Structure 1
Amino acid sequence: MEAQLLRTFVAVARLGSFSAAASELGYTQAAVSQQIAALENDLKTQLLNRRPVVPTEAGARLLEHAEPILLRLDAARADVTRMTSTPAATLIVGVTPLAGATTAPALAAALAELRERMPRLDISVRTGTRAAVAFGVARGELDIALTDGLTAPGDPLPELAPVAATGVSQAGVAVILPAGHPLAARRALRLPDLADSRWIEAEQVAPPLAEIRRLAGVDGFRPAFGYAGSDTLTLIRLAAAGHGLTLLPQPALSPEPAAWAGIIAVPVTAPRVVHRIELIHGTLRESSPAAELAAILSAR
């Protein structure tokens, strides 16, 4: 199978339209149709129903393989480019909102030290979800990134993309409850006991409920409220107003209780989970801005 045919197939399946895929890829609609026909001929099976344009059972299975394959091809191209190109005078750093909130002082200090070493370096920081940051590093769109997620103590985060990952820190997590919540007086909580509670889905700034559900090992944790922003304080205020529970790493909570009026943070003791922050990157060329930043952060 040719990579170009796979890319066209993924675009058509994702967009549900031959014409939309043609517009996105810069082809004619006829060329897209020909490429899909060539792929189906190669595999000797129909991959897409035409009306509506949705994957067949075989197409859905191919899609599961195609997207990781294409990501690895992009990662390989980006990795080779990083090794052979002249180091750029720019550095693009990715960061997930929670990783940024919990490492802001260290990251700011590291970037300041890097700027002293490389005064003419142009630095930009971009925020995104864990998946967006991982894929951005793999594809060479980001030079280096700080990402975060929940895992068992000492375990790495599940791989989302073919990138190198180094643990930076790990910390306990706490359930954020309104002060008047029946469980607010508890000294510790078990996640399985909260499966039927009202939860806030806030994937930009808190662990996704699907991740909490997986780690708790029970069904439940259904969203009662959705927050699509990336501000931790707003999420905490939503929890304080009774819109639902949320889970945050303890370092993200201010040591000043007055800053979080109306909420109680109760540590999670079962199952044993931690909030882990990782530094992720592709191949680091010696003395490149990304390699220098990685060394500074590791030293800190």
Structure 2
Amino acid sequence: MAELTLVGLRVVVEVARAGSFSAAAARLGYTQSAVSRQVAVTEKVAETPLFERHARGVRPTAAGEALVRHASRVLDGVATATQELAGMRDRLVIGGFPTAAAVLLPRAIARLTAAHPGLQVRLTEASTPAQLLALRRGRLEVAVLATGDGLPEYDLDGLRLTELRGGGGAGVAVADTHPFAVRDRVEPAELADQAWVVGARVGDAPEFGAWPGIAEPVISFAARDWPTRLGLVAAGLGIALVPGLAAPAMPRGVRWVPVRGDGLGRTAWTATKPDPSAAAQAMVRALEEELGSWATP
């Protein structure tokens, strides 16, 4: 006999809150078809429609409202239990987008564990949408996110956000044989005729393209992973847009050069639940302290 699932309940609650399948999908990090399937399966188990359509989306039926009411309590209970169990294990799970995970997060974790040697920390490298989903599900306690130019508008409602200031802005990774490699910085106008190594999109994960504002950038290669992209750069096959957070992690044969004015309007944040654990708060402080040390001559 089929039973209600936590995934199905979470989807039903989010659809009711968002007012449409597409909005719920965006908040959860799912595709719209996946949300539709979960609602259909849950309606089959409930043996009654849970939503009815109207001009601007959907709204719960009477049965849907009843299920949302009970499901919200169940999901809150699961989240509380997950948080308590994590605290009992003295373990902290944090996430970060790839360029933050390259240098900033490892160094901040080292700071944290030096101050709290009994704390076990696990790092998950993931895109911002994947982190938000994991954070809302209780699988992460701290997420390091990126927002701004070229990135989607993420649903950050209900989260506790702290801006991470510093990190050197943005720049380009070039081969050490490239003319830019001997420069202290380059001008945005000089980037227009360069060949670019860009990120290959994976699902809904944002990709790093060419420098913003270049009308028709020349794309030489697209690669999913940062090591591959930087390997292509080292071979002289193009240059790549790289945030300053990853500048200290450039491999042999690659140099990071800042771009004057930094026309890339992106911001890094930490995100936690509204009532983060003491360990999560300590992690946020360690990240701020680590970035602060970068700004100190």
Describe how 1:215-254 pairs up with structure 2 within 5 A: 216=213, 218-221=214-217, 223-231=219-227, 234-250=228-244, 252-254=246-248
Structure 1 letter corresponding to 2:127? T
1:161 counterpart = 2:156: yes
1:284 paired residue number? 275
1:109 paired residue number? 111
The alpha carbon displacement at 1:241 in A equals 2.0
Mapped to 2, the partners of 1:26 and 1:272 lie a distance apart of: 45
Structure 1 letter corresponding to 2:99? L
1:175 paired residue number? 172
SS of 2:109's partner is helix
Q: Deviations over 1:106-164 (max 9, x none)?
A: 222313433x3xx3x5532211012322332244321112234667xxxxx97552322
Q: Report % sequence identity.
A: 20
Mapped to 2, the partners of 1:134 and 1:200 lie a distance apart of: 27
The runs of 5 or more residues in structure 2 that have no matched partner are 1-11, 60-70, 291-297
Q: TM-score if structure 1 supplies the norm length?
A: 0.60
Mapped to 2, the partners of 1:184 and 1:295 lie a distance apart of: 34
CA gap 1:161/1:212 in 2 versus in 1, 3 angstroms: farther
1:190 counterpart = 2:187: yes
Paired residues of 1:249 and 1:275 also in contact (CA < 8 A): no
1:48 paired residue number? none
2:52 paired residue number? 39
CA gap 1:88/1:295 in 2 versus in 1, 3 angstroms: farther
The alpha carbon displacement at 1:292 in A equals 3.5
2:41 paired residue number? 27
Q: Deviations over 1:15-45 (max 9, x none)?
A: 658xx954x5681796799749x532xx0x5
SS of 1:269's partner is coil
Mapped to 2, the partners of 1:15 and 1:160 lie a distance apart of: 16
Paired residues of 1:190 and 1:271 also in contact (CA < 8 A): no
CA gap 1:273/1:237 in 2 versus in 1, 3 angstroms: same
Q: Deviations over 1:93-113 (max 9, x none)?
A: 112221122212222231343
The alpha carbon displacement at 1:202 in A equals 2.3
CA RMSD of aligned residues (A): 4.8
Paired residues of 2:93 and 2:140 also in contact (CA < 8 A): yes
Paired residues of 1:5 and 1:35 also in contact (CA < 8 A): no
Q: Deviations over 1:198-248 (max 9, x none)?
A: 3222279x98446942xx4x53446442211244xx432211223332122
Tell me how many residue pairs correspond in the alignment.
249
1:14 paired residue number? 31
The runs of 5 or more residues in structure 1 that have no matched partner are 46-57, 63-72, 152-156
Structure 2 letter corresponding to 1:278? W
Mapped to 2, the partners of 1:243 and 1:78 lie a distance apart of: 51
Mapped to 2, the partners of 1:203 and 1:282 lie a distance apart of: 31
Paired residues of 1:146 and 1:278 also in contact (CA < 8 A): yes
CA gap 1:29/1:84 in 2 versus in 1, 3 angstroms: closer
The alpha carbon displacement at 1:272 in A equals 4.6
Structure 2 letter corresponding to 1:39? E
1:144 paired residue number? 142
The alpha carbon displacement at 1:250 in A equals 4.2
CA gap 1:299/1:5 in 2 versus in 1, 3 angstroms: closer
Q: Deviations over 1:56-90 (max 9, x none)?
A: xx77x99xxxxxxxxxx99xx66995599644433
Paired residues of 2:173 and 2:230 also in contact (CA < 8 A): yes
